Structure 1
Amino acid sequence: MTLQRTLQRRQLVLGGLGAAALATATGRAFAADYPERPITFICPWPAGGTADRSMRAICQIAARELGQPIALENRAGASGMIGTKALASARPDGYTIGQIPISVTRFAQIGTVQIDPLKDLSYLARTSGQTFGIAVPASSPFKSLRDMVAQAKAKPGTISYAHAGVGGATHVGMEQFAQAAGVKFNAIAYKGGSAALQDVLGEQVDMLADSSSWAPHVESGKLRLLATWGEARTPRFKDTPTLKELGYDVVVEAPNGIGAPRGLPPAVEKKLRDAFRVAVASEEFKKVADSIDAPVMYQDGPDYRKYVEAVYRQETELIRKLNLKELMEKG
């Protein structure tokens, strides 16, 4: 190699190192200034629901930590997948973040949303779970879950339940329970929990499977709560047993999480993780979570990602076991 070629090669190497150093320095400067403007938060559910209330509360607290407003934008539809797809498609600069429904691990594998939750999203924090349960009208002959299961075994497919959409947590949770109990229900899908609740209150459907939309109606005596689906009893309804303690190995909590598009600059990711860590730990958020029966289930970003990966593997087997692809095709 000639002396001239050697010098040219050294210049190229040094130039490349200089460009890399410049990019690193630029990234650090960007992170140091971040955030310089308001942040958009995509909530994939309608305004006014429990997820919306939870996310609004946590964003207000995180905004104070970051020194910039966080504007919540509702992009509801397709069981939360419209907003999740929009989040995954956004620019990964830290100015678009949002809620990630854990059901994305199921819908991605079924094919109803064209994203890979293991590759297309950054995970910032797992925040809180939900309290799911089975409720019946006060006039129902079912005084307990045991009564209902006995009837379902005697007359398969005659007991109906309302849920918020095929493939969602309420539908899948009830079908898991049905398999564990050895019974078959008549599942009736609605476009949301509110419509399902109204038909159960109107006694057009035998049972409601939903997160805590039933709570005020149970307290007022219009509905009777037969069981909840968490790992432990919910403090607000401490006299109601869980499916697990009744002998059915079914736990559904569907925790909410916060994320961003993949490719988030590491320093920006850290700022967001730190802000939401403070927000979840605050008494202000805990009060809101308690009011909507949402147990705090915090995990920092790396642990949250591991949780999502584990759920993804579990969903692969669940989809096969419940024939969810076929059920989705039938609607």
Structure 2
Amino acid sequence: MHRVSPDRRRLLTASAAGAAGLLLPAWARADDYPSRPITFICPWPAGGTADASMRAICQVAARTLKQPVTVDNRAGAAGMIGAKAIAAAKPDGYTIGQIPISVTRFSQLGSLQADPRKDFTYLARTSGQTFGIAVQPDSKFKTLHDMVAHAKANPGKVTYAHAGVGGATHVGMEEFAMAAGIQLNAIAYKGGSAALNDTLGGQVDMLADSSSWAPHVEAGKLRLLATWGEERTPRFKDTPTLKELGYKVVVDAPNGIGAPAGLPPEVEKRLRDAFRLAVQSEEFKSVAAKIDAPVMYLDGPDYRKYVGQVYDRETQLIERLKLKELLAKG
């Protein structure tokens, strides 16, 4: 039998590896990544709180990556237009973006034609949101317990405004109602600003929203009955959480950063490292604090596990709240 010398074997192995490398598409060879600007899809409108936080985090990440990270706003469908664009992009690391945790719900409700368990590469969980229940200052509901007592005596009479069927504010409020044993009258709006305006105008009894109410609470135009986080929010430390009032409901709807599935491992690691540093930066923390967004960092693989857990919880919640039937009614 002909024996191949060790030197000859090494040469053949190196040649085979080089040939294999030549067969890879250019975008899969990550040695020089990134060599051009990166597009970051933000699934919310320009000028909003989510947009502000993502612009801050991209600015910091760009310094680590040594390439511009340009924000591209693809708003609509409760963030699902942007999420779909991320899932459909080429997995080369040059199109990434913000992925709301609500992909776990809307994919099951048919609003997102992608499977969040398989169709994304997760890079980081960044921050959550501060949700709360607010009323007008002259409302007869001085506390949340006042409202619950009135709702028990008057099923379906107490109204609340929310930003759309199936969204975090709607689902969170209905979870709370189930925990409290009450029936509320949910009024759906096309976004939080319209819901806020009608609450300020007295068309509804309560507002369920993320911190759009914050400046109005500080100005005395609204009163905050409860927030929905694990702990009290520093800015409104006198307001109790649903949890401490006796309702086992926590809603913080954290956002993450991701890319299409199939990202080369070297590219994934580079991006995970860059966004880890960005989330931990004082620049991002400062912007997050201003918009009442608690920093909730998780590395990509841990965030993937979290997404899987939330997906399973959402499956049960969709069934309990009959969300598919509600959406079908419009």
Q: TM-score range by the shorter chain?
A: over 0.9
Cα–Cα, structure 1 residues 85 and 25, in superposed 2: closer, same or farther, change >3 Å? closer
| 1:61-100 alignment runs, 5 A limit | 61-100=60-99
Matched, 1:189 2:188: yes
Matched, 1:268 2:267: yes
Matched, 1:60 2:46: no
1:171-211 CA distance string (max 9 Å, x none): 00000001001111111111111111111011111111011
**Equivalent residue, structure 2, for 1:315:** 314
SS of match in other structure, 2:225 = strand
Matched, 1:232 2:224: no
**Equivalent residue, structure 2, for 1:252:** 251
Matched residue type, 1:142:
F
Shift of 1:24: 8.8
1:79-116 CA distance string (max 9 Å, x none): 11111001100111101000001011011111121111
Shift of 1:32: 2.4
Matched residue type, 1:81:
M
SS of match in other structure, 2:30 = helix
**Equivalent residue, structure 1, for 2:4:** none
Shift of 1:234: 0.5
Cα–Cα, structure 1 residues 317 and 156, in superposed 2: closer, same or farther, change >3 Å? same
1:242-288 CA distance string (max 9 Å, x none): 00000100000000100000011110111100000000001111111
* Cα distance in structure 1, aligned partners of 2:256 and 2:33: 22
Matched residue type, 1:55:
M
**Equivalent residue, structure 2, for 1:207:** 206
- TM-score, normalising length from structure 1? 0.93
CA contact (8 A) 2:28 2:264 kept: no
SS of match in other structure, 1:99 = strand
| Alignment RMSD (CA, Å) | 2.0
Cα–Cα, structure 1 residues 245 and 24, in superposed 2: closer, same or farther, change >3 Å? farther
CA contact (8 A) 1:28 1:267 kept: no
* Cα distance in structure 1, aligned partners of 2:228 and 2:22: 49
* Cα distance in structure 2, aligned partners of 1:60 and 1:115: 28
Shift of 1:121: 0.5
Q: Identity over aligned residues, as a percent?
A: 75
| 1:24-43 alignment runs, 5 A limit | 30-43=29-42
Shift of 1:22: 2.1
* Cα distance in structure 1, aligned partners of 2:171 and 2:21: 50
Number of residue equivalences: 320
Moved over 4 A (4+): 13-20, 23-29
1:135-176 CA distance string (max 9 Å, x none): 001121111001111111111111111111110000000000
